[in-house]
Structure 1
Amino acid sequence: MELTAVGKRYGRGGRWILRGVHLAVGPGELVRIAGANGSGKSTLLRLAAGIERPSTGRVARPGPVAYVPERFPPALPFDAASYLLRVGRVHGLSAEAARRRAGWWLERFGIADRAGTPLSRLSKGTCQKVAVAQALIAEPRVLLLDEAWTGLDPQARAVLDEAAAERAARGGAVLFVDHDPTRLAGRTGAVYRVGADGGLRAVEQEARPEGGPVMEIEVDVPDGSPLPERLPGAPERAALGGTAVRLAVSRAHSDALLRSLLVGRPAVRVLAVRRREGER
């Protein structure tokens, strides 16, 4: 997905909300958009989703896009399961596949028992789980999350964290906004900030945690393909014999790195996971 010289204002004489925005999010990238309240973060995601048109510039999307808004409209004439089924069908899934995936996501978010409940009768938190599920059901090429964690309980937030990381690991482009500055820390490949002038600038990532133990993960890539350029924790890499690679990463990021390797591409075989020699 790419935004080129994108600007947005409302009305011919209105203030520029965004101006001169350039942003490219490639397959497998997990990117955070930061900025002050009212700076234009949500506007940027709506432009990326195609919900709004830019006043200037161009937005190019590589394929299907799924979007989770900050506020999900519950006054839709469906129950949770039938709504997800219809969304799946819109995305081109067969009825059987859409039904299966809807049930899987309802189960994963712990709301399978409310599958037949009308959306208008669900709590705000449960509605938000349905909103997230509708975006994930079709495994989109581009996933846009606008404060999607708001209203979710801690367990559901963890599920969404994993789902976002999994989508990126499987080649999706993920762009998200969240008020928690630690959201997906260690998994995010890049961070951009919307400034007061409406421009978008890259910001330095948080430093890798120091002082903790370093874990070494050795993997074999049977087909010899290179591992993704961006991996959780920005691990150090060392080629071993044949198609094996050793990755060294802070223990704080080792679980996220393993998950990314196991669900992503290329397929890998884990040979060893151990604490680096000399580490306490």
Structure 2
Amino acid sequence: MQRELRLDNVGRRHSLRGPWVLRGVDLAVAPGTLVRVEGANGTGKSTLLRLIAGIDAPTEGRVTGRPRTAYVPERFPSALPFTALAYLIRLGTVHGLSRRQAAGAAGQWLERLGAAGYARTPMARLSKGSSQKVAVAQALLGEPELLVLDEAWTGLDAGARAELERAVAERTAAGGAVVFVDHDPGRLAGAPDATYTVRDGTLHRRERPATAPAGPRVTVRVQGPPGGRLPADAHRIAALAEETAPGTHLLTVPASHSDVLLRTLLTARPPWHVVSVATEEPHGPEDRR
């Protein structure tokens, strides 16, 4: 069973007598949660994510309960002596996959991210956007228990950005945890279980004001098979779940997670019947039945 990742009184500086980049950081990341990290440039967000991912070790304090982790860095080293596919297969074996499994997963993620046409292109010849797609694919190959994303959407086209949002929803629905930084304040709006701000070298949990818009949400009304129970993955994805009548449920989910929720319901055995789907904007609903 996946454990909770904990940072206890963690500090980090880059040299013995250098200034503290972070200090006194306490953070718990539970399985199945989505955590957003915010802060101005240079405040230590990337340093925090490298500590969470296990790339850097803390100078003081300790990190415990580390799950199987994958990481997309802010700057991906694209000038590597591999084709995109060869690189992903190699990384897949590092994640514990066989070469055959790694090749299959690599092909699947390149296809999903719109980069299948570049599979046999040398990494050094890829554009920044295509290179970023490979960076995202390598992190998703092994279905990590913890996914750490440092500005991972930067450089992606609209289709790949949407696909990465779906992948985040899939990871949390499967019980994994995701920690991310992104410059777009609307990224995954309404979806994070917690938001933290890095300020003055410390970490502060940000409480969302009750009046703040939570971003668009989708309300799904579903009818289950006789005697059926709502799939556990659907419970994990939905922000709210209400049984309005025997076998009929009303589920509310952030818009970024709606595709994953619908796929979960329709691929359940036996499948659930989707009665209606409505988009609810922060200031009013728009019915899409």
* Pair 1:116-2:101 in alignment: no
Q: Write out aligned runs for 1:1-280 (5 A).
A: 1-204=5-208, 206-208=212-214, 215-218=219-222, 220=224, 222=228, 231-232=237-238, 234-235=239-240, 237-238=242-243, 240-241=245-246, 244=247, 246-249=249-252, 253=254, 256-257=257-258, 259-260=260-261, 262-263=263-264, 269-274=271-276
For 1:227 and 1:95, locate their aligned partners in 2 and report how far apart those are by CA, in whole Å.
29
- Taking structure 2 as the reference length, the TM-score comes to 0.82
Asked if the contact 2:166–2:256 (Cα under 8 Å) also holds between the matched residues in 1, the reply is no
Distance 1:135 1:22, change over 3 A: same
Instruction: Provide structure 1 residue ranges, at least 5 long, that are not aligned to the other structure.
Output: none
Q: What fraction of aligned residue pairs are identical, expressed as a percent? A: 49
Pairwise CA RMSD: 2.9
Shift, 1:138, TM fit: 0.6
Mapped contact 1:28–1:172 kept (Cα < 8 A): yes
When residues 108 and 228 of structure 1 are mapped into structure 2, their CA distance, relative to the original with a 3 A threshold, is closer
- Tell me, in whole angstroms, the C-alpha distance in 2 between the residues paired with 1:8 and 1:25: 19
Letter of the 1:82 counterpart: A
Residue 26 of structure 1 and its aligned partner are, at CA, apart by 1.5
TM-superposed CA distance for 1:18, in Å, is: 1.4
Q: Do the aligned partners of 2:151 and 2:182 also contact (CA within 8 Å) in 1?
A: yes
Give the Cα–Cα distance (whole angstroms) in 2 for the partners of residues 255 and 184 of structure 1: 6
Q: Give the match's secondary structure for 1:105.
A: helix
Cα distance change, pair 237–88 in 1 and its aligned pair in 2 (3 A)? same
Greater relative contact order structure (CA < 8 Å, 6+ sep): 1
Identify unmatched segments of 5+ residues in structure 2: 279-284
Query: In the alignment, residue 104 of structure 2 is paired with which amino acid?
Result: R
TM-score of the aligned structures, taking structure 1 as reference length: 0.84
Query: How far apart in 1 are the matches of 2:130 and 2:46?
Result: 22
Distance (whole Å) between structure 1 residues aligned to residue 189 and residue 29 of structure 2? 18
Alpha-carbon distance between aligned partners in 1 of 2:259 and 2:223, rounded to the nearest angstrom: 10
CA deviation digits over 1:71-104, x for unaligned, max 9? Answer: 1101211110000000011111111111111111
Q: Deviations over 1:154-207 (max 9, x none)?
A: 111111111111111111110000000000112222211112242332332753
Equivalent position amino acid for 1:60 in 2: T
